[in-house]
A and B are shown apart, each in its own frame.
Chain A
């Protein structure tokens, strides 16, 4: 008899996880977009936006967002964390999950990114 644990081996590309995280975050009404920083890239720093690190222990997500001015930012960040966590938990079921959310910038609602 084949052991299910032995055949259930799979990998998930980082880009897939990044896209999952991005789609989840963008569902939150107060999120205008994902922050990018060209300067950070030129300086050799980890680029802003979304970083997902997979280890045997689980997943670590780091997301930098642009929010609309007028939102309660603490509540917004918690909402983003919650929705990303729920989405990853449903689709990936990581052993351990850590989600760091940074609100990088604000724009007015009249402006579209």
Chain B
């Protein structure tokens, strides 16, 4: 984007990686999201001790319009479309607020379901069925 600074000429740019970090941090605030699903390369890097705040997120930028893809691990027991919608909304709002860029789309890929911790929603349903 061209600068709106009246004094000095030049461009202001935000990288795809920076946007990916914002999207990842926003997605992880959704309670039903256990974590983001790292790719194989990201997983290997993590094992080598290299922290990656953007793991699980891919961003494609055209000008100042972003298209975000997020791979999620969702907690068992929650309605996946509802979780996906929540993630989409929070990612879009956060990225647009923090960068001034537009978010054209947030694609959600539910990579895995975490069965290790039963959700409160499922426990209530099980109690009701009994």
Contact = CB atoms under 8 A, between A and B. Distances in A.
Interface of A: 61, 67, 69-74, 77-78, 81-82, 85, 97-108, 111
Interface string B33-63: 0000000000000000001010000000000
Given A78-B3, A81-B5, A105 B15 contact: yes
Contacts of A107: 53
B9 A73 contact: no
Contacts of A73: 14, 18, 98-100
Contact of B98 (A71, A85, A102): A71
Nearest to B100: A74
Given A71-B98, A85-B5, 7 more contacts: A73-B14, A77-B14, A85-B8, A102-B13, A105-B17, A105-B18, A106-B53
A111 B21 CA distance: 14
B8 A103 contact: no
B18 to A, nearest CB: 5
B12 interface: yes
B14 A98 contact: no
A70 B3 CA distance: 21
A107 B17 CA distance: 11
A96 to B, nearest CB: 8
A97 B9 contact: yes
A103 B64 CA distance: 13
Given A71-B98, A78-B3, A106 B10 contact: no
B57 to A, nearest CB: 12
A82 B22 contact: no
B116 interface: no
A98 B8 contact: yes
17 contacts: A61-B10, A72-B98, A73-B98, A74-B99, A78-B5, A82-B7, A98-B9, A98-B10, A99-B9, A102-B14, A103-B13, A103-B14, A104-B15, A104-B18, A106-B18, A106-B21, A107-B53
Contacts of A98: 8-10
Contacts of B97: 72
Contacts of A108: 53
Nearest to B14: A103
B4 interface: yes
